[in-house]
Chain A
Amino acid sequence: MNHPVLARRGRLIPYLLLWVLMAGLIAAPTRMQGCTWLESLGLALPMALLGAGIGLMPYYIARFMPAGRTPMARLSTVWCIAAIVDGAFWVAAGSWISARLLSQLPGLSRLPHITAQALPFLWAFGVLLYLACAAFYYLLLAQDQAEEAEQARLRLQMLAQDAELKALRAQLNPHFLFNALNTISALTSVDALRARDMCVKLSDFLRRSLGLGERAAVALSEELELCRGYLAIEQVRFGQRLRLDWQVEPEAERALLPPLLLQPLVENAIKHGISPLPEGGEVRFEAKLDGAWVRILLENPVDSDAPRPQGLGLGLRQVRQRLLGRFGEQAAFEAGIEEGRHAVRLRFPFQTEQP
Chain B
Amino acid sequence: MKTRALIVDDEELARAVVREHLAAHADIEILGEAANGFEAVKMASELKPDLVLLDVQMPKLDGFEVLALLEGEPAVIFVTAFDQHALRAFDAHAVDYLLKPFSKERFDAALDKARRAAGTKPAADLAPNLQTAAREGKPLDRIVVKDGPKVSIVPLDKLDFVQAQDDYVLLKTEGRELLKQQTLSSLESQLNPDRFIRIHRSYILNLERLVRLEQDSKEHWEAVLRDGARLPVSKTGYQRLKPLWDKA
Contacts and interface: CB of A to CB of B under 8 A. Distances in A.
Contact of A190 (B16, B35, B38, B39): B16
Contacts of A278: 10, 35-36, 38-39, 59-60
Contacts of A175: 57, 81-83
A181 interface: yes
B11 interface: yes
Interface residues of B, number: 28
B81 to A, nearest CB: 4
A184 B101 contact: yes
Interface in B1-44: 10-14, 16-17, 20, 35-36, 38-39
Interface string B171-187: 00000000000000000
A89 interface: no
Interface in B97-111: 99-102
Contacts, number: 68
A174 B83 contact: yes
Interface residues of A, number: 24
B56 to A, nearest CB: 10
A185 B17 contact: yes
A275 B57 CA distance: 8
B60 A179 contact: no
B122 interface: no
Given A175-B82, A178-B101, A179-B100, A189 B20 contact: yes
- The 5 lowest CB-CB distance pairs between A and B, nearest first, are A182-B100, A185-B101, A178-B81, A186-B13, A182-B101
Interface of A: 174-175, 178-179, 181-187, 189-190, 236-239, 275-278, 303, 305, 307
26 contacts: A175-B81, A175-B82, A178-B81, A178-B101, A179-B81, A181-B101, A182-B14, A182-B17, A183-B11, A183-B13, A183-B14, A185-B100, A186-B13, A186-B17, A189-B20, A236-B13, A238-B11, A275-B57, A275-B59, A276-B59, A278-B38, A278-B59, A305-B142, A307-B142, A307-B155, A307-B156
